[in-house]
Chain A
Amino acid sequence: GESVGLHLPTLSVQEGDNSIINCAYSNSASDYFIWYKQESGKGPQFIIDIRSNMDKRQGQRVTVLLNKTVKHLSLQIAATQPGDSAVYFCAETYSGGTSYGKLTFGQGTILTVHP
């Protein structure tokens, strides 16, 4: 679906807490999902990805969970740090048909980490 940029959801946490950012995706045929972090004045930065044949994938301090039944994606950040403050986007794509190479982005979530 189309992303809507107005009134982004916000998440405010204390340094050291764990953060969970959620995303509902739109296309049940999507088979590849990515999380991006965007800091002010910069382009989106790749965090972690997951394919539809998996339901969990871990990286350094981050974990992505995929629930295809309810079309839900989440990003967990362990021991959140002030440097994690940014806007986080989920993105989906389907590798078949005319959607090849096209990412559909979620609206984004603003994460603020307080020292």
Chain B
Amino acid sequence: KAGVTQTPRYLIKTRGQQVTLSCSPISGHRSVSWYQQTPGQGLQFLFEYFSETQRNKGNFPGRFSGRQFSNSRSEMNVSTLELGDSALYLCASRSVVHSPLHFGNGTRLTVT
């Protein structure tokens, strides 16, 4: 079974631009979560989607948004990019509650 797939692997953007990251979960997994990983803050929860509905949201500004499609694929969008948004963005999926999240290899975003 294929794992969680994230595209693109690397992105370089300029301050003020916006970016969209894509995630395909493991087949059969309906829950998709997004995390931001930085050296200073570690792994931080962004949001989780289940059946196209956002179920939980972390403490990030409204510039960070996401959505999930009927095939469980998910996208996250960051608008008006800031230098501090440079990070590894990780997508993860799981099958049911109290089952482990399985992560993709992330998208490395650099904002210049």
- Which residues of A line the B interface, CB within 8 A? 2-6, 32, 34, 36, 41-46, 49, 51, 89, 91, 95, 98-108
Contacts and interface: CB of A to CB of B under 8 A. Distances in A.
A98 B42 CA distance: 22
Given A99-B56, A100-B55, A102-B58, A107 B42 contact: yes
Contact of B43 (A46, A98, A105): A105
B21 interface: no
B101 A46 contact: yes
B100 interface: yes
Consensus secondary structure, chain A interface: loop
B106 A102 contact: no
A51 B50 contact: no
B41 A4 contact: yes
B50 A46 contact: no
A76 B96 CA distance: 27
Nearest to A107: B42
Which of B4, B35, B45 counts the most chain A CB atoms within 10 A? B45
Contact of B44 (A2, A6, A36, A46): A2
A2 B100 CA distance: 20
B45 A43 contact: no
A101 B102 contact: no
A77 to B, nearest CB: 18
Contacts, number: 74
A105 B44 CA distance: 7
Interface of B: 4, 31, 33, 35, 38-45, 48, 50, 55-56, 58, 90, 92, 97-98, 100-106
A97 B82 CA distance: 32
Given A103-B33, A103-B101, 11 more contacts: A3-B42, A4-B41, A5-B41, A5-B42, A36-B103, A44-B43, A89-B43, A102-B45, A102-B48, A104-B45, A105-B42
B17 to A, nearest CB: 25
A50 B12 CA distance: 39
B98 to A, nearest CB: 5
A45 B103 contact: yes
A42 B33 contact: no
A106 B45 CA distance: 12
